[in-house]
């Protein structure tokens, strides 16, 4: 059957990115990213259960520049998904649907995620400093 000639809505490339749409897809992207990151989490736990040798290998990877980069992305994705998730729960409960609130809560989620991610990493480096 030939496709009906219906009008198409503008494509994603034509729409100007807005805070609402960008944060919405970012929630999905970080969700899938966290899914991949759980593999690292599972490896870390299984390595710890397997004993000091395997655990040292896992810790060495986590401590390498690549491991730290992945872990930093994981932390950022976790806190963005967490704070934006609070927005979703509030919407589900019927709060904050008007556009000014949506814009404000969106920026709040981005800023909170950045701030808490940095705070957790400061704590991590402070811990390592104490350990030495």
Residues recorded for the chain: 132
**Applying CB under 8 A, what is the total number of residues that bind another protein?**
36
Q: Are 68 and 62 in contact (CB under 8 A)?
A: yes
Angstrom distance (rounded) from CA 65 to CA 131: 19
Q: How would DSSP label each residue in 93-131?
A: TT---SHHHHHHHHHHHHHHHHHHHHHHHHHHHHHHHHH
- Piece of the chain touching another protein by CB under 8 A; list 5-13, 15-23, 24-32, 100-108: 24-32
27-56 residues near another protein, rule: CB under 8 A: 28, 31-32, 34-35, 38-39, 41-42, 45-46, 48-49, 51-52, 55-56
Give the binding site for another protein (CB under 8 A).
28, 31-32, 34-35, 38-39, 41-42, 45-46, 48-49, 51-52, 55-56, 59, 63, 75, 78-79, 82, 85-86, 88-89, 92, 120-121, 123-125, 127-128, 131
């Amino acid at each position: 059957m030939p496709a009906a000639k219906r009008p198409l809505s503008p494509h994603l490339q034509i729409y100007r990115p807005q805070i609402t749409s960008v944060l919405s897809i970012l929630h999905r992207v970080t969700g899938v990213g966290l899914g991949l990151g759980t593999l690292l989490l599972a490896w870390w736990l299984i390595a710890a259960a397997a004993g000091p040798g395997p655990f040292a290998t896992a810790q060495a990877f986590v401590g390498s520049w690549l491991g730290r980069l992945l872990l930093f992305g994981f932390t950022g994705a976790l806190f963005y998904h967490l704070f934006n998730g609070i927005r979703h729960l509030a919407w589900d409960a019927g709060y904050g649907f008007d556009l000014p609130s949506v814009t404000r809560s969106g920026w709040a989620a981005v800023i909170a995620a950045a701030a808490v991610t940095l705070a957790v990493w400061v704590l991590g480096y402070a811990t390592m400093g104490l350990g030495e």
